[in-house]
Amino acid sequence: MDSKTNNGETPEESQQEQTQNQNPLPIIPTASISLSLSTLLPIHFLPPKQITSSPNKIKIPSQIASIANLSLSSSFPQAKASFKSAISANPLQSSLTVNPLRPTNPSGAAALRRAAVVWFRNDLRIHDNECLTTANNESVSVLPVYCFDPRDYGKSSSGFDKTGPYRATFLIESVADLRKNLQDRGSDLVVRIGRPESVLLEMVKAVGADAVYMHREVSHDEVKAEEKLEEVMKDEGVEVKYFWGSTLYHLEDLPFELEKMPTNYGGFKEKVKGAEVRKTIEALDRMKGLPKRGDIEPGEIPSLVDLGLNPNATMGQNGKTAANASLMGGETEGLQRLKNFAVECKAKPNNGFKDGANDSIYGANFSCKISPWLAMGCLSPRSMFDELKKSASSMISAASNKKNGGAGTTDTGMNWLMYELLWRDFFRFITRKYSSAKQQSYTPACTGVAA
């Protein structure tokens, strides 16, 4: 008797077919995985193919992530970890970075800014300039800019020149020297007459810069200029990075918050007695070049006439240059004066003046004659302190030992210089404290616009 069922199959064949349906052969998924991965990964990442032929039509997973959910142990046990890491690092799965990479990313040149603008203010120097050095280290290209702000010239409400001809001449010479020093290092200085917030905005747009680097200042008008610059740069999405470089002691190193600063010099001097002076920053030997985009012209350095001043005002009644106009502005001249001053201190012994002072160090009118270069930022207080400390240490030590019977104390010697520089620090910090209710506090430069 025929034992087949109505559909022509025996019970054993029917059971075998059901078993096959429950456990299909893995050839189709294996081929699918192999083809999908070969389109995503380099060939040398894949093991030798085990399939000699493939179906005409293979279903490719619609999402790359679905491959990671399939088991690879049956076909490629030796490459399981490699496939997982390669798939997760696939660039198609990563979102694009809109903002430029920052220097904290250790990916080499790609971590640098496209371009940065450095706004020179009262820091007309290359040496000990944290603002310039940081911009150079963090950027592919750097655009140094100086602005002759028209608001700093002309007549005041009292009828006097806001900037007199002597100071203006000294400033013009300092800007010219800064340009030369930048050119010697492969850069240049862009000079404009105009309001900084307008000039710098124009420069930022022209070169495609994404940050402006600048030193903080302390007076009311200078702080207002910073606020206006922040507003226009914020609208453009450009970061503003602030630095502090106008005092002997760094603002961040003060042993008190600026709001709690003593209002008298004695209290201030006592508070900072244990603070340390930061090391000076070496001048750059070579600078990044100017941005290629924008084709910015360096511009001419203005004359006194261009600034609305009378050039004859610097002449004496006899037609010769006045004595006050004999000082040459600029970092180069300032550093040379500082070296000469240090040599003079070392060459002449102490004559018994109070606090180890030396009558020769003051020169005419009881002045060391360094102040103009400090005021323009052609010299930094830290570099002045370091140079004199190195050059005059032997003289001061000998004078101190002689005065104290060979014992020597720390209350004499360098204190005369410290007193002078500390007075300068005191006035700048106290001015900063009260210059702006909006920006009384200071935060490090890395915080950007909110600094």
Annotated binding site for FAD: 367-371, 420-427
* Cβ contact 234:227 at 8 Å: no
Contacts of 346 (CB under 8 A, 6+ apart): 391, 392, 394, 395
Unique residue bearing structure tokens 């903080």: 216
A 10 A CB-CB count for 271 gives 15
* Dihedral sign computed on CA atoms, order 369, 371, 373, 374: positive
Which residue reads 């001043």 in tokens?
Answer: 309
The encoded tokens of residue 384 equal 């002045």
Binding-site sequence positions: 367-371, 420-427
User: Is 73 within 8 Å of 81 (Cβ atoms)?
Assistant: no
* 307's tokens: 């600034």
Helices 220-236 and 196-207 pack at an angle, to 10 degrees, of 30
Cβ contact 441:258 at 8 Å: yes
Classify burial at 390, counting beta carbons within 10 Å of its beta carbon; exposed 0-12, middle 13-18, buried 19 or more. exposed
Ramachandran angles phi, psi of 143, nearest 5°: -115, 100
Element (H, E) at 22: helix 11-22
Q: What is the DSSP letter of 313?
A: G
In whole angstroms, what is the distance from residue 19 CA to residue 346 CA? 103
User: How many residues does the structure list for the chain?
Assistant: 451
Q: Yes or no: say if 451 and 442 are a contact pair by the CB < 8 Å rule.
A: yes
Smallest CA-to-CA distance from 332 within 301, 286, 376 is with 376
3-state secondary structure at position 145: strand
Are 110 and 87 within 8 A, CB to CB?
no
Of 380, 372, 384, the C-alpha closest to 417 is 384
Nearest residue to 438 (alpha-carbon basis) of 245, 215, 231, 255: 231
